[in-house]
Structure 1
Amino acid sequence: MNILLTGGAGFIGRWVAKRLLEDGHQVWIVDDFSNGRRENVHEFEQHPGFQELIAGDIKDENLLTQLFDAHHFDICYHLGASINVQDSIDDPRTTFNNDTVGTFYMMEQCRKHQVKVVFMSTCMVYDRCTDDTGITELHPTKPASPYAGAKIAAENMVLSYYYAYNLPVVVIRPFNTYGPFQKTGGEGGVVAIFVRNKLAGKDLQIYGEGTQTRDLLYVEDCARFVVEAGYSDRVNGQIVNAGLGRDISVNELARLVVGDENRIKHVEHIHPQSEIQKLLCNYSKAKELLDWEPSVSLEEGIKLTEEWIRTSYLM
């Protein structure tokens, strides 16, 4: 198939590109490199299925028109977005324009050309989990940050194209994804930051009390879920979760990564109002409709992530 992948030079996008190329598709990537990096996709440039890496903005309607007119895309995996919760609180306009307005421009092209859309949303749209059965797709949403608000708005718009125009779409909500190629600085994920600080001999800093829990999904499991959602008609018009189905407190995670209580420090939370106290995924719908379930344990995933960070940053 001919596939358009937005945000394909980003952390998850890079793994989705790898999977799509391995499955034999022709892949075009659009990325503005506000978060993604060219070097993330260097290794694919000689792959026969890798068509083009376009430096561009999903809000550039002329660029999108040219792209969709020139290539008959079968699926659009729309991962391009502003993804930082704290940035969205400090600068909500940028997040809204990229995540909601940008998605609208993508939807219009996909409607015009009848291209299936896989829309990458986030578990951050959910209200806190209240029990150990986990968060299903019917769980209440709560836009605790402009990032979550922009994603909920975009989700509803994407689904409206299914109902109004019969366009095949699926909204996917992966839980906290981590693994190789994730940034290890302040804009990275908690696992990558903790592992990098451990290897650099620094303390692991935890915002607030550290009792908040996260459901951590290894990136290759996430990419497999993203790709499969595009292949299946069974999820059209649906919202589907993916996660490990196990949550861990940030305190426990820090201990698992560093193994030394003395290197764990608590600091004041920058934006405590945006914190979700408990995140635990119930992925039974993904298992039923896509025959998907995670295959990499948290312990194994942390080990793989640490190996990658050690060789990438410290050699």
Structure 2
Amino acid sequence: MKILVTGGTGFIGRWVVKRLLQDKNQVWVLDNLANSSIKNVEEFVGNPYFKKNIQGDIKDEELLNEIFQLNDFDVCYHLAASINVQDSIDDPKTTFENDTIGTFNILEQCRKHHVKMVFMSTCMVYDIASNQVGISERDPLKPASPYAGAKIAAENMVLSYYYAYNLPVVIVRPFNTYGPFQKTGGEGGVVAIFINNKLNGKPQSIYGDGTQTRDLLYVEDCADFVVVSGYSDKANGHIINAGTGEDISINELALLISNKSTSIQHVEHIHPQSEIQKLLCNYSKARSLLKWEPKISLEEGVKKTEEWIKSTKETYKEEEGQ
């Protein structure tokens, strides 16, 4: 197929691109590089199925017109977004323009050219888990941050195009994704940050009391889920979760990663009002609809992620001649 991936140089995006190329799809990438790097897709240059990497913005309607008119896409995986909760609290306008208006722009192009759209949403749209079997797609939403609010608004627009125009769409809500190519700094995920702190001998700083839990999904499992949702006609018109069905507290995660080699300290939460205390995924819909199951355990995923972070540090030292 001919496929466009917005946000394709980002953390999850580059793994989605890799999986699509492995399946011998022709892939175009659109990214403004605001929260990613061209280096993330360097390994694909030279692959005959990797057609073009376009630096541009989903708010640029003229550019979108040109891209969709020139290429007869079958599917658009729409991953481009502002994803930082604190940034959305500090600057809600930017998050709304990127995540809601930008999504509308992509939707309009998909409608005009009848291109299936897979929309990357987030588990952050949910309220707390109402039971021990985890959060399902039927559980209540809670826009506790402008990021979550912008994603919910975008989800509703996406579904409206399914009902109003019969446009094939899928909304995917992965839970907390981690793995190689995730940033290790302030905008990164908790696993990457904890591993980086461990390798640098820094203490693990945990927001609040650390009892909040996360369902941690390895990035290659996440990418497989996202990709197969675009392949499946059965998924059209659906909202689908992906996770492991197991959660771990942030305190336990810090101990697992640190292996008692670094100290742990608790600090004041920067956005307690947007915290979801228990994030546990019920992915039974993905299992029944897509035949999808996560394959990588947390222990194995942490090991793979640590190996990658170590390799990037060694590469950086070699480049610097250290």
Same fold (TM over 0.5): yes
Which residue of structure 1 aligns with residue 245 of structure 2? 245
Correspondence list, 1:21-170, <5 A: 21-170=21-170
Q: Name the CA distance, whole Å, in 2 between partners of 1:262 and 1:224.
A: 34
**1:7-42 CA-partner distances (Å, limit 9, x unpaired):** 000000000000000000110000001111100000
In structure 1, distance between residues paired with 2:163 and 2:130 = 31
* TM-score, with length taken from structure 2: 0.97
CA RMSD of superposed structures (Å): 0.8
Q: Name segments (4+ residues, structure 1) moved above 4 Å.
A: none
Once the two structures are TM-superposed, the CA of residue 130 in structure 1 deviates from its matched residue by 2.8
1:130 touches 1:278 (CA, 8 Å); kept in 2?
no
Classify the secondary structure of the residue corresponding to 1:220: helix
Q: Does 1:196 align with 2:196?
A: yes
Q: Which moved more, 1:21-30 or 1:129-138?
A: 129-138
Aligned residues: 315
Q: Secondary structure at the match of 2:186?
A: coil
Residue of structure 2 equivalent to 1:302: 302
Instruction: Give the structure-1-normalised TM-score.
Output: 0.99
CA distance in 2, matches of 1:262, 1:314: 21
Report the Cα distance in structure 2 between the residues aligned to 1:232 and 1:16, rounded to whole angstroms: 15
Distance 2:86 2:250 in 1: 18
- Residue 210 of structure 1 corresponds to 210
Q: Which residues of 2 match residues 230-269 of structure 1 at below 5 A?
A: 230-260=230-260, 263-269=263-269
CA-CA distance at 1:132 after TM superposition: 1.3
Paired with 1:152 and 1:51, the residues of 2 have a C-alpha distance of 32
Q: Distance in 2 between matches of 1:86 and 1:246?
A: 26
Distance 1:70 1:262, change over 3 A: closer
Find the residue that maps to 1:256 and give its secondary structure. helix
AA matched with 1:98: N
Aligned identity (percent) is 70
The 1:262–1:42 alpha-carbon spacing in structure 2 relative to 1, beyond 3 Å, is: closer
For structure 1, the residue ranges without an aligned partner over 5 or more in a row are none
Q: Distance in 2 between matches of 1:49 and 1:166?
A: 29
> Which AA in structure 2 matches 1:124?
M
Residue aligning to 1:279: 279
Distance in 2 of aligned mates of 1:311 and 1:28: 28
**Equivalents in 2 of 1:132, 1:259: separation in Å?**
28
Q: Map Cα deviations across residues 199-238 of structure 1 (whole Å, 9 max, x no partner).
A: 1111111011000000000000000000000000001000
